[in-house]
Structure 1
Amino acid sequence: MATEGQALQLVTLLENELIRRRGPIDRHNAYYRGDHPLKFASPEFAKFHGDRYRDFSDNWTQVVADSPVERLTVTGFLADGETKADRDLWRVWQVNGLDADSQLGFLGAVTAARCYVLVWGDPDDPDMPVVTFEDASQSIVAYEPGSRRHRRAALKRWQDGNQDFATLYLKDEVWKFSRPLQQQDKSPQMADVDEELKRWRPRELPHEPNPQPNPMGVVPMVELPNKPMLVEDPISDIAGVTAMQDAINLVWAQLFTASDAASFPQRVVMGAERPTIPKLNSAGEIVGTQPVDLDKFQVDKVAWITGKDARIASWPAANLAMYTSILEVAVGHLAAQTRTPQHYLIGKMANLAEGALLAAETGLVKRCDEKTLWYGQGLREVARLIALAQGDDRKAEALRSGRVLWADTESRSHAQMADALLKLKQLGFPFEWLALRYGLTPTEVAEVVKMREREMEMDPVSEITRSLTGGSPEPGAEQAPDDEPEEQPDAVGLEGLEGAL
């Protein structure tokens, strides 16, 4: 049991680490939304054109982040020693709306380098735990020294109204704290006065002790890392894209500027004075001259040029193709670095065979398989926490070495998939395994199996075929005794057959 001082010390340490991580998380989320500052520009270019292109971005980071997430779909959980997916776990998954929320969690992990899953019991329904995906900007897990899996504590911190809230999860207990929301624009004098109010204080709730016991006996929050490292923090998929994204935005800005200023042939008059027109007063008398508005020449398409040395020259239009070629190279580099298929980015489809398209997506498929490996390890622990929250210790122990079932990350046509499954069926793979491979969830597979059984019961031909091929005999059918000798072939018939051969 931790004291209040020890709990507050843990909250302070975890909050400081959470604040340290917040900067990159906010930056990567902004890039995903398309909020990109104009960079790599000269001071002069930024001075004259920075505001013009402030809200423009050719957002490729969103495509890079979305491409693996759209292929990550959990279909079930399989405990160790079982051959069928656990239906109770899948019911908890669906009741908590995790079919949709898991996609939000995976996207958060791809952009922010990690996300978290919190499991806690529902006092109103002990058989249905509450499972939520948590954002990395609000949650953090602390591990035991020297371990990357044994969790020591977890913190969730968020704001609501004019209050800051924090919940500290330990193995044996849960602490809840709150404090007034800190204002950033206060004077130093007022900051000193409010220093005492900034401290975390235990949050008292009716009908709930603080701290309250943790019946699961483990920290109920799990981290899902993206591209984990042995000693460093996990890596966001967007972290390596931002520099190239800034370069692409700059080239587009320069292309637009060149298109506006030099995309048409320019003509210039040399050796002549600027044309003037008489300047009249209110009585219509000429009182002087004034230069002609040059914009009028652009509208009227006519200019009166005088002077014996006057001549006209022209500048050719700027070649903008070099900008588009640079953009294509930049997008190609981005695709290669992130293992995103180029047809996802460039948008050009050639007359390619299915095999060629599958080969083009090999990098993305491997990238998705890596994520299912690391996310699956965390989700397997989530399944164990669900079993612990339900009080099923036996299932929780079996899930420690269980596995998470995922939909196929490779995109195939129905014809290709059917042909592959048919060949696997001929090799002896069972129907239920093939149905899972096809992409059905375990619940859907169970329904299909029941449908097949009903169809076979209604089809008398299939019943006869099953009994003739060694299936279960019809009720009342007599079987030959096991010790009855088999009928031997006629020796004469065999000799005649040999003579014929």
Structure 2
Amino acid sequence: MALDLSPLEWLTRLKRRHEAELPTLRALNAYFDGCQPLAYMHPELMLELGDRIRQVVINWPELVVEAVEERIDLEGFRRDSDSEADASLWEMWQANDLDEQSQQAHVDALVMKRSFVTVGTNAHDADMPLITVESPLQMHADIDPANRQVRAALRWWYDGESALDGRIREQYATLYLPDETIHYQFDEGWQETDRDDHGLGQVPVVPLVNKPRLMMPLGTSELTKVIPLSDAACKVATDMMVAAEFHAIPRRWVFGATEEDFVGPDGDPLTAWQQIMGRVWANEKGPGEIQAGQFPESDLANFHNTLNSLARLVASLTGLPPHYLGYATENPASADAIRSSEARLVKRAERKQRSWGGSWERVMRLAERIRDGAWNPESRSLEAIWRDASTPTEAAKADAVTKKKAAGIIDDEQAWEDLGYTSTQQARMRARKESAQDAFNRAMAGDMAGLTGPKPAVDGQLVDGQPVEQQPPVGAPDVVAAGR
């Protein structure tokens, strides 16, 4: 359903919605970076300790994201399930450095609900479309509830990182509409600076959405269920360090002395912290005038147990194996047990591949349309090729593929893909295989020179001035005997 809005009305609408969501996105990004504020700490305690306390960050949000993203690698595209990887599509992928940028887009989508991919013409190379990934901190899109397609998208940013020097930062924006892309600069209002009337009929922006739902088409963060447990773990770890400072070290008591009685080797009075942390106390009073002793130190096991309990909750919610979170059972797990514990993590990665595969396929269809000037009907069945998200050993993988190949279940092409070879490596192996097949076909047709070298001398031919008698090759049938 199209809205009857002018470009400036679209810009205002999208910018207002984006600004309303920016605090949430920035908070999620801070948790991934480990820069979140300390939670669950009583304000009076913070006031009392002041700058003497530093937060201990247990960055489980980063672990949850990286564990999934490390298993998501796109290796190529093909027109249908039976064809080989398309070289021209992969050339556009490599020319735009999407090997690296796609990983950044996946991380931002996992952390901040979504990221975006834009497609447009390349001012430096007319034959190669420009594909870029964009952060949700700078971009927002409006989704049509009727067909769940992007109706309009806006990217806006400031030129400069800080305004602390008093300099007025310049503000820019790019508005993406179905038939045009408009560039703006803010100067007492938004002023149009450039326009691209591409006439695509659709917005050249594709969202990479993490866990979209029917009523939340722009997705949800992977960190939502982890943040409360991460806050609790950071609080417990910080409390543990405070307890280690004040209670894990034996506390001493003394009767019959004043602060002035505690002096250092140089005779100067000790400070309060030197009195607490000092190993030896010296004073001028006699042994009968002062009584001293110490309290037993505190055990920090309660903190350790709490952290282990929180880690188990994180593992159960996110599907992370226990050894990812630093705790394990008394008996070391076998290789099969480790792979079994990773089953939920592998399935989560495969779900991301299925969801984001469709988004990357739309990106490549757009890029192909901009490059060729027309939509390619064969690209309707485009399929993204992903690397195996599981972690079998090389020996186990090779053994399984060999058995499937021997049983006739898969062919060479599928075997190469199952073994994890890239599309470029598969192309080289395919070329070598075809070259060997051509040589064999020529040999079967009678051209043995390529396989056996120069033809042998015939009967009566002079070699070094002497006639030679042709001998049958080793293993050849006895023609004379066969004739008799």
1:68-147 alignment runs, 5 A limit: 68-80=68-80, 83-147=83-147
Q: CA deviation at 1:146?
A: 2.3
Q: Which residue pairs with 2:337 in the alignment?
A: 356
Residues 380 and 400 in structure 1, CA contact (< 8 A), matched pair in contact too:
no
Of residues 109-118 and 312-321 in structure 1, the stretch that sits farther from structure 2 once superposed is: 312-321
Residues 38 and 50 in structure 1, CA contact (< 8 A), matched pair in contact too:
no
Counterparts of 2:127 and 2:192, CA distance in 1: 29
Selected match of 1:230 from 214, 223, 226: 214
SS in 2 for 1:122: coil
Counterparts of 1:157 and 1:436, CA distance in 2: 41
Question: How big is each residue's C-alpha offset from its partner over 1:66-86, in whole Å with a ceiling of 9 and x where there is no partner?
Answer: 111111111111224761121
**Are 2:319 and 1:339 aligned?**
yes
Name structure 2 gaps, 5 residues minimum: 161-168, 262-267, 448-484
Q: CA deviation at 1:211?
A: 3.7
Q: 1:409 to 1:389 in 2, by over 3 A?
A: same
SS in 2 for 1:133: strand
Q: Which residue pairs with 2:181 in the alignment?
A: 174
Q: 1:291 to 1:156 in 2, by over 3 A?
A: closer
| Paired residue total | 426
Name structure 1 gaps, 5 residues minimum: 181-196, 204-209, 278-289, 478-501
Q: Which residue pairs with 2:458 in the alignment?
A: none
**Are 2:194 and 1:214 aligned?**
no
Q: 1:296 to 1:70 in 2, by over 3 A?
A: closer
Counterparts of 2:419 and 2:259, CA distance in 1: 79
Selected match of 1:406 from 361, 386, 392: 386
Residues 335 and 345 in structure 1, CA contact (< 8 A), matched pair in contact too:
yes
Q: CA deviation at 1:473?
A: 7.8
Q: Which residue pairs with 1:242 in the alignment?
A: 227
Counterparts of 1:292 and 1:168, CA distance in 2: 67
Q: CA deviation at 1:261?
A: 0.8
Selected match of 2:190 from 197, 200, 203: 200
Residues 335 and 341 in structure 1, CA contact (< 8 A), matched pair in contact too:
yes
Of residues 73-82 and 318-327 in structure 1, the stretch that sits farther from structure 2 once superposed is: 73-82
Counterparts of 1:234 and 1:144, CA distance in 2: 15
**Are 2:45 and 1:45 aligned?**
yes
Of residues 375-384 and 341-350 in structure 1, the stretch that sits farther from structure 2 once superposed is: 341-350
SS in 2 for 1:250: helix
SS in 2 for 1:376: helix
Residues 169 and 220 in structure 1, CA contact (< 8 A), matched pair in contact too:
yes
Q: 1:255 to 1:400 in 2, by over 3 A?
A: same
Counterparts of 1:314 and 1:377, CA distance in 2: 68
Structure 2 residue identity aligned to 1:222: V
Q: 1:125 to 1:273 in 2, by over 3 A?
A: closer
Counterparts of 2:55 and 2:297, CA distance in 1: 28
Task: Give the TM-score normalised by the residue count of structure 2.
Answer: 0.80
Counterparts of 2:229 and 2:20, CA distance in 1: 25
**Are 2:393 and 1:419 aligned?**
no
Q: Which residue pairs with 2:475 in the alignment?
A: none
Q: 1:41 to 1:55 in 2, by over 3 A?
A: closer
Residues 27 and 36 in structure 2, CA contact (< 8 A), matched pair in contact too:
no
Residues 274 and 291 in structure 1, CA contact (< 8 A), matched pair in contact too:
no
SS in 1 for 2:127: strand
Task: Give the TM-score normalised by the residue count of structure 1.
Answer: 0.78
Residues 68 and 349 in structure 2, CA contact (< 8 A), matched pair in contact too:
yes
Q: Which residue pairs with 1:474 in the alignment?
A: 444
1:476-491 alignment runs, 5 A limit: 476=446
Q: CA deviation at 1:434?
A: 1.2
Q: Which residue pairs with 1:152 in the alignment?
A: 151
Q: 1:400 to 1:22 in 2, by over 3 A?
A: farther
Of residues 449-458 and 104-113 in structure 1, the stretch that sits farther from structure 2 once superposed is: 449-458
Structure 1 residue identity aligned to 2:444: E
Residues 381 and 400 in structure 1, CA contact (< 8 A), matched pair in contact too:
no
Question: How big is each residue's C-alpha offset from its partner over 1:161-186, in whole Å with a ceiling of 9 and x where there is no partner?
Answer: 43211111111222221104xxxxxx
SS in 2 for 1:125: coil
Q: CA deviation at 1:359?
A: 0.6
Q: CA deviation at 1:444?
A: 1.5
Q: CA deviation at 1:218?
A: 1.7
Counterparts of 2:151 and 2:316, CA distance in 1: 39
**Are 2:239 and 1:254 aligned?**
yes
Q: CA deviation at 1:454?
A: 3.8
**Identity value in percent:** 29
Residues 117 and 132 in structure 2, CA contact (< 8 A), matched pair in contact too:
yes
Q: Which residue pairs with 2:416 in the alignment?
A: 435
Counterparts of 1:28 and 1:171, CA distance in 2: 31
Q: Which residue pairs with 2:360 in the alignment?
A: 379
Q: CA deviation at 1:267?
A: 3.4
